[in-house]
Structure 1
Amino acid sequence: MKKLLSMTTATVALMLTAQVAIAGPNTVAGPGADPSCFTPVSDNTTYFQWPGREGPYKIALVNGFIANDWRVQMIAVAKAYAAQPDVAADIEEFKVVSVGEDIAAQIAAANNFIDQGFDAIIINANNTAAFGSVVRKANEANVVVLSFDNVIDDPNQIAINVDQKGLGKSAGEFLLEQSGDGPAKFLHVRGPAGQPVDIARNEGFLEVIKESGRDVEVVDVVGNWAPGDGQKVTADAIAAGGVFDGIYVQGGSQGVATAMLDAGVFKAPISGETENAFRQLCNKAGLSCQSGGTGPAQSSVTIKTAIAALKGEVVPSEIALPTSISYAPFKEGVEMFPKLPGSFFAGNNFEACNIGFTAEEIASQTGENN
């Protein structure tokens, strides 16, 4: 009996080991499917392949922070993409949930979708390091996990992003160039504390300034990537005696520019995001502006990637999205759109991925949970 129990235990252990071994995607050789769209970050990027399954698929988008226009439009564009006829044919259900800045709530939401049997979970993470258990659970359940924008720091999922640190570097280079050669004072209007994108952009911004060797003072305020918050903290900084030689705003750029113009103390070059209202204001006021980022439609690229992975196609584990940077004066109808809302972010079309939208498609959707 003891011998039989020992054999049974060994057999169970072997079965569990085999299950662990096959959990998650297989690592395979590239190139992957649709390389013009699913562009690997580098020549050393790993390629994944999940066993193909029959569609249509259940896909969930688990968002965290939503209190700005970019996040609202990101969700609206994701819904618009999922509703396009060719895409909708592959989707049985597309669910969106935003949980705020609560990391535990975002983890719980992702786990809940795994438990409900969703085929793929897309995450814009509140914390890059907190989702290892979610990835492991998903891989054990043969659920594809993808992250974008604020990507998960785990090698066993698909990460889709732009070079966020590079955007911070570009902002620093622009302000250094525009502010002359002597000592300078820059205002940095940052995103929510602890958000991975904010951290990466700040690192790039400070790195360029340090490497320049110039005497530059950087004053940090938190604008939460929101126009109202950005306007308030900028106005407060100026009212406290701040005269700045340049401003870097990660998001909510039109609010920051408005605060500077309303104060009437100085006109400094501004490096901001791709908000339509910011570009309109830069043109109207004749400001020296850099406007760069990546459009909210990266959520759509992530959905496209999820569908490819679920069909068993080979995809890179890390996908690089293009970054768009423009300079004032912005071209009407190309870089700035007078007939679209000021909250509209440019850069929603990814031609290499055959992803594009009309303003009406985006406007017909909301950023609400569904």
Structure 2
Amino acid sequence: MRSLLLGSAVAFATAGIAMADTYRPECFAPAPGTSTISYEAKEGPYKIAFVNGFAGNDWRIAAIQAAKAWAARPENAAKIEEFNVVSVGNDSAAQIAAIDNFIAAGFDAITFIAVNPTAFEPVIRRAERAGTVLVPFDNVLDTDRVVQINESQVELGRLKAQTVMDLLGGEADKILMVNGLPGNATDRDRRIGMMSVLENVEGLEIVEVVGNWDTGTSQKVVSDALATHGQFDGVVSQHGAAGTINAMQAAGHPIVPMGVDGENGVRMLMDELDIPGISASQAPAMSAIALEAAVALLEGNALPQTVYLPIPQVKSEDLAPGVNYFPDLPKSFNTGTGFPDCFAPFTPEELLGQTADNT
């Protein structure tokens, strides 16, 4: 197996839970200080939907593939009456309408990547009245009323920036920061994590560009930044870092420390070019953990309100072909294929056998 791992009304909600108080804490690990949420158990099989927003990059495609791969496994398929996946684009009104349609159709649970973290309070109330379980993940909501699945986005950003600054001996004149899709909680929190390190570096100039978590966009905006600002001492990139590296190579930029994402092509470039730094990612397979959490809640189990999954990561010196990147697989393949404490990780064949189409 080739895979990469690092890693109706609410019945009750209490602060400061211990891991033993919730279902499968080895998988659904509570964020510090989070609460507990459970619902009255429902009899299956269940109708479940995944309402994605933006679907224009490889990460989102991988998240959809992981969700479908999860639903296709026999142990999960036996619990599902109907499973739908839809992508609605970068329009929060369209996403809310899609969720409302599934609520009205009597779906038992809906997972989603929120387009906007602040627009869902009315949806949460409607879901509660209908007895529909909501489980957002990745771009989560600014609420404590539903279970949410994530990695610590602040820590992911901090980890990349701290690694780069450690390699630079804590001193630098100019750093390039390639941010994600504006308006998302994930972009906001990763930037907070990066800035928590970089803003403490004396005399540092931070040049920020918007890469939209997309390889092509990142390549263009980084090319423009290099033309305008010249050379950088280091780079921190949320996602789409293959484009960042390609732009730097095209401009003849020296190799510098980088904090980048976990796409297969990024790790291939890091190893090939001897780029120092770290590859750390938001694993798209968390879409499957959100589905796993939805079923657990429907079955009456208690979960932490905020679940923090481990951050898949590898330092440049530990990169190894066939172990944590795969030269025979597409460059767009995301190496975060699962979380072993939750269920057996997906094989590349399971993931690549799924489409990103609406179902």
Give the TM-score normalised by the residue count of structure 1. 0.90
Say which of 300, 304, 310 aligns to 1:312: 300
The residue aligned with 1:10 is none
Give the drift of 1:340. Answer: 1.5
The residue aligned with 1:215 is 203
Look up the equivalent residue of 1:285 and give its one-letter code.
L
- How many angstroms apart in 2 are the aligned matches of 1:311 and 1:272? 38
Checking the alignment, whether the CA contact within 8 Å between 2:53 and 2:115 is kept in structure 1 is yes
Checking the alignment, whether the CA contact within 8 Å between 1:181 and 1:214 is kept in structure 2 is no
Look up the equivalent residue of 1:281 and give its one-letter code.
L
**Structure 1, unaligned stretches of length 5 or more?**
1-22
2:16 is the alignment partner of 1:27: no
Deviations, residues 38-60 of structure 1 (Å, cap 9, x unaligned): 11113x43222211111110111
2:26 is the alignment partner of 1:36: yes
Look up the equivalent residue of 1:33 and give its one-letter code.
Y
Say which of 110, 132, 136 aligns to 1:143: 132
- How many angstroms apart in 2 are the aligned matches of 1:183 and 1:350? 36
- How many angstroms apart in 2 are the aligned matches of 1:162 and 1:273? 14
Look up the equivalent residue of 2:75 and give its one-letter code.
D
Look up the equivalent residue of 1:133 and give its one-letter code.
P
- How many angstroms apart in 2 are the aligned matches of 1:112 and 1:210? 44
- How many angstroms apart in 1 are the aligned matches of 2:222 and 2:252? 13
Say which of 232, 236, 243 aligns to 2:231: 243
Checking the alignment, whether the CA contact within 8 Å between 1:59 and 1:120 is kept in structure 2 is yes
Say which of 185, 189, 199 aligns to 2:174: 185
Question: What does 1:229-308 correspond to in 2, within 5 Å?
Answer: 229-308=217-296
- How many angstroms apart in 2 are the aligned matches of 1:274 and 1:224? 16
The residue aligned with 1:366 is 355
Matched position secondary structure for 2:12: strand
Matched position secondary structure for 2:65: helix
- How many angstroms apart in 1 are the aligned matches of 2:204 and 2:339? 37
The residue aligned with 1:46 is 35
Structure having greater relative contact order (Cα 8 Å, sep ≥ 6): 2
Checking the alignment, whether the CA contact within 8 Å between 2:165 and 2:171 is kept in structure 1 is no
The residue aligned with 2:44 is 55
Give the drift of 1:169. Answer: 0.9
- Specify whether residues 180 and 48 from structure 1 end up closer, same or farther in structure 2 by C-alpha distance, changes over 3 A only: closer
Look up the equivalent residue of 1:104 and give its one-letter code.
A
Look up the equivalent residue of 1:201 and give its one-letter code.
R
Matched position secondary structure for 1:95: strand
- How many angstroms apart in 2 are the aligned matches of 1:169 and 1:278? 19
The residue aligned with 1:66 is 55
Q: Which moved more, 1:67-76 or 1:175-184?
A: 175-184
The residue aligned with 1:171 is 160
The residue aligned with 1:18 is none
Structure number with larger C-alpha Rg: 1
- How many angstroms apart in 2 are the aligned matches of 1:280 and 1:339? 11
- Specify whether residues 301 and 215 from structure 1 end up closer, same or farther in structure 2 by C-alpha distance, changes over 3 A only: same
Give the drift of 1:178. Answer: 2.2
Matched position secondary structure for 2:235: strand
Look up the equivalent residue of 2:339 and give its one-letter code.
F
Matched position secondary structure for 2:341: helix
- How many angstroms apart in 2 are the aligned matches of 1:352 and 1:182? 38
Give the drift of 1:28. Answer: 5.6
Look up the equivalent residue of 1:36 and give its one-letter code.
E
Give the drift of 1:343. Answer: 0.5
- How many angstroms apart in 2 are the aligned matches of 1:33 and 1:366? 31
Checking the alignment, whether the CA contact within 8 Å between 1:269 and 1:288 is kept in structure 2 is yes
The residue aligned with 2:150 is 161
Give the drift of 1:183. Answer: 4.1
Give the drift of 1:74. Answer: 0.4
Matched position secondary structure for 1:258: helix
- How many angstroms apart in 2 are the aligned matches of 1:107 and 1:64? 10
Give the drift of 1:210. Answer: 2.1
- How many angstroms apart in 1 are the aligned matches of 2:41 and 2:207? 51
Give the drift of 1:180. Answer: 3.7
- How many angstroms apart in 2 are the aligned matches of 1:210 and 1:289? 19
Give the drift of 1:127. Answer: 1.0
- How many angstroms apart in 1 are the aligned matches of 2:324 and 2:249? 22
Look up the equivalent residue of 2:308 and give its one-letter code.
A
Look up the equivalent residue of 2:346 and give its one-letter code.
F
The residue aligned with 2:113 is 124
Matched position secondary structure for 2:110: strand
Identical counterparts, % of pairs = 41
CA RMSD of aligned residues (A): 1.4
**Structure 2, unaligned stretches of length 5 or more?**
1-7
Matched position secondary structure for 1:240: helix
